[in-house]
């Protein structure tokens, strides 16, 4: 309670009528100001007491939630909201009364769909629980903007990919053209084309057609939307399975494996199949960079809301200039590389809302780091465990 009100209450019997009137007037006008501020917010604000009865609603909440009772005050929170899913989320959250709970709901009313985000925050007074504050925001536009940005991003990468394809198919097409011309010329001049030469020309043409086919297949893999299906999983599990899978190949290439997996990492949302593919692409590059043998190090760790996977090799490393190009589709320095390995890595990690970063030193080695966001609910679980200890 405000100190001056406390003081006034203590000496209420000594105050004359005029002073009491002035005090009430001050209080009422302060109240009105607060109400005015709350009502001019576009976000919805709803306050409940310890019995979960609604004690305050601002105008915003009525605009955002048409399914709210017209006079919600004095009703139990979940009984005032005529939407089963929202009501049950609110009921569970206020009953926990321990930490902030958040959830998004999409309302499909008569107009266009709207996405609302709900946050339930416990309110304390003098360190004693006092009820809950429920904040409601309309995040439809934000979600739309994000989707637009993602589309623009994938369109931009499609343009680079298309340019890459155009560049890639030039050579095989040229070579096919030349060999067809050679055959045509021989036929025109009635020159006898011996079987061996004709066979060689045709073989080259077939090889080039296969190369073209490979380019198209890789291109399609790189541009197709991924049919990811995310499951809450442990990164260490995926890494351990992968190690089983690659250990013979490492041995064959005289590559030592050094792993350091942090125990009890929080779970993250993973499509294990795609994530394994991304990790394999990075490992294969690492092995290729250590043609004299070396050490491949795999580390998992948690830091600042992310689970990180570091994959380091002690290979040839890369120059700054090379580093700036490695995620570009078709960039390769290998005779038989497609140059799509890291494009796929980038795409898979983005699909997981994660990031991939690289550090490299020429003749010393390279480290790729994949960082995956820890979902909020896992973070809460962590806090919770921390408190228990
Ligand atoms: N660990 C690494 N050390 C050194 N250079 C690397 C490493 N990883 C990638 N590179 C460089 O980046 C280029 C692109 O890699 P990316 O995996 O996309 O294609 P690629 O390995 O050449 O072909 P693909 O993976 O399709 O067989 C490689 O050709 C290589 O020059
Ligand atoms: Mg590669």
Q: What is the pLDDT of residues 58-73, one digit of tens each?
A: 999 999 988 888 788 8
Place of tokens 């190369």: 211
Task: Characterize the bridge pairing of strands 268-270 and 294-303.
Answer: unpaired
Of 100, 121, 138, the residue at which a domain comes to its end is 138
Same domain, yes or no: 370 and 278: yes
To test ligand 1's pocket by mutation, which of 312, 324, 332 has the most ligand atoms within 8 angstroms of CB?
Answer: 332
Q: Quote the ligand 1 centre to 84 CA distance (angstroms).
A: 52
Q: Quote the ligand 2 centre to 279 CA distance (angstroms).
A: 11
Ligand nearest to the CA of 284: 2
Same domain, yes or no: 102 and 194: no
Q: Quote the ligand 2 centre to 342 CA distance (angstroms).
A: 6
Q: Flag whether 243 is in a domain.
A: yes
* Predicted confidence pLDDT, tens digits, the chain (389 residues): 677 778 888 888 888 889 889 889 988 999 999 999 999 999 999 999 999 999 999 999 999 988 888 788 878 999 998 888 999 999 998 888 677 788 888 887 767 788 899 999 998 888 888 899 999 999 988 888 887 877 777 677 777 777 778 888 888 999 999 999 988 888 888 777 788 888 999 999 999 999 899 888 877 777 777 788 999 999 999 999 999 999 999 999 999 999 999 999 999 999 999 999 999 999 999 999 999 999 999 999 999 899 999 999 999 999 988 888 888 778 899 988 888 899 889 889 988 999 999 999 999 999 999 999 998 878 766 665 555 44
Task: Please state the domain count of the chain.
Answer: 3
Helix axes 195-223, 341-351, angle to 10 degrees: 20
Q: Quote the ligand 2 centre to 237 CA distance (angstroms).
A: 23
Residue pair 136/41 in contact by the 8 Å Cβ criterion: no
- Ligand 1 atom at minimal distance to the Cα of residue 338: 26
Q: Flag whether 308 is in a domain.
A: yes
Task: Read off the CATH number of the domain in which 164 is found.
Answer: 1.10.287.130
Question: Burial level of 76, CB count in 10 A (0-12/13-18/19+)?
Answer: middle
At 369, is the secondary structure helix, strand, or coil? strand
Q: Quote the ligand 1 centre to 333 CA distance (angstroms).
A: 7
Any bridge partners for residue 132, and if so which? Answer: 48, 122
Q: Nearest 5°: CA angle at 137, between 48 and 371? A: 110
Q: Please tell me if the CB atom of residue 369 comes closer than 6 angstroms to any atom of ligand 1.
A: no
Instruction: Calculate the CA dihedral of residues 109, 138, 130, 387 and round it to 10 degrees.
Output: 110
Residues 6+ apart with CB under 8 A from 214: 338
Same domain, yes or no: 279 and 366: yes
Q: Which pTM does this prediction carry?
A: 0.58
To test ligand 1's pocket by mutation, which of 253, 341, 360 has the most ligand atoms within 8 angstroms of CB?
Answer: 341
pLDDT at 388: 47
Task: Read off the CATH number of the domain in which 80 is found.
Answer: 3.30.450.20
Of 174, 199, 223, the residue at which a domain comes to its end is 223
pLDDT at 380: 62
Same domain, yes or no: 134 and 95: yes
Same domain, yes or no: 180 and 202: yes
Residue pair 150/350 in contact by the 8 Å Cβ criterion: no
Same domain, yes or no: 242 and 375: yes
Tokens of 338: 């497609």
The counts of H helices and E strands in the chain are 12, 12
Q: Quote the ligand 2 centre to 221 CA distance (angstroms).
A: 15
Q: How many CA atoms lie within 13 A of 288 on its CB side?
A: 14
Counted residue by residue, the chain has a size of: 389
Going by alpha carbons, the residue nearest to atom 10 of ligand 1 is 285
To test ligand 1's pocket by mutation, which of 326, 330, 336, 359 has the most ligand atoms within 8 angstroms of CB?
Answer: 326
Of 138, 173, 193, the residue at which a domain comes to its end is 138
Same domain, yes or no: 187 and 85: no
Q: What is the pLDDT of residues 13-33, one digit of tens each?
A: 888 889 889 889 988 999 999
Q: Flag whether 34 is in a domain.
A: no
Ligand nearest to the CA of 366: 1
Residue 155 belongs to domain spanning: 144-223
pLDDT at 228: 87
Ligand nearest to the CA of 334: 1
């Amino acid at each position: 309670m405000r100190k001056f009100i406390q003081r006034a209450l203590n000496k209420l019997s000594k105050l004359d009528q005029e002073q009491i009137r002035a005090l009430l007037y001050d209080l009422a006008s302060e109240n009105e100001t607060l109400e005015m501020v709350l009502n001019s917010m576009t976000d919805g604000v709803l306050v409940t007491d310890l019995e979960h009865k609604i004690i305050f609603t601002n105008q915003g909440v009525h605009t955002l939630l048409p399914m709210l009772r017209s006079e919600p005050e004095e009703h139990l929170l979940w009984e005032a909201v005529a939407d089963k899913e929202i009501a049950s989320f609110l009921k569970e959250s206020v009953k926990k009364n321990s930490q902030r709970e958040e959830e998004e709901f999409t309302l499909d009313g008569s107009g266009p769909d709207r996405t609302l985000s709900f946050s339930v925050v416990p309110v304390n007074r003098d360190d004693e629980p006092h009820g809950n504050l429920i904040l409601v925001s309309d995040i439809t536009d934000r979600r739309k903007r994000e989707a637009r940005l993602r589309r623009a991003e994938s369109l931009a990468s499609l343009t680079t990919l298309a340019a890459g394809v155009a560049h890639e198919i030039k050579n095989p097409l040229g070579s096919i053209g030349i060999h067809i011309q050679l055959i045509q010329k021989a036929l025109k001049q009635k020159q006898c084309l011996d079987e061996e030469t004709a066979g060689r020309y045709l073989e080259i043409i077939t090889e080039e057609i296969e190369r073209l086919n490979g380019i198209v297949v890789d291109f399609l893999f790189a541009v197709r939307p991924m049919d990811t299906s995310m499951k809450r999983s442990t990164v260490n599990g995926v890494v351990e399975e992968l190690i089983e899978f690659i250990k013979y190949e490492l041995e064959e290439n005289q590559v030592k494996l050094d792993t350091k997996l942090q125990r009890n990492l929080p779970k993250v949302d993973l499509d294990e199949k795609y994530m394994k593919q991304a990790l394999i692409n990075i490992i294969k590059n690492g092995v290729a960079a250590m043609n004299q043998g070396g050490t491949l190090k795999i580390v998992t760790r948690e830091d600042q809301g992310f689970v990180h996977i570091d994959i380091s090799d002690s290979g040839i490393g890369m120059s700054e200039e090379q580093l700036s190009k490695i995620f570009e589709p078709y960039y390769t320095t290998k005779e038989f590389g497609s140059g799509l390995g890291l494009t796929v890595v980038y795409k898979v990690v983005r699909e997981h809302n994660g990031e991939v970063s690289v550090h490299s030193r020429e003749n010393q080695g390279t480290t790729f780091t994949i960082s995956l966001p820890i979902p909020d609910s896992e973070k809460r679980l962590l806090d919770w465990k921390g408190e228990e200890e």
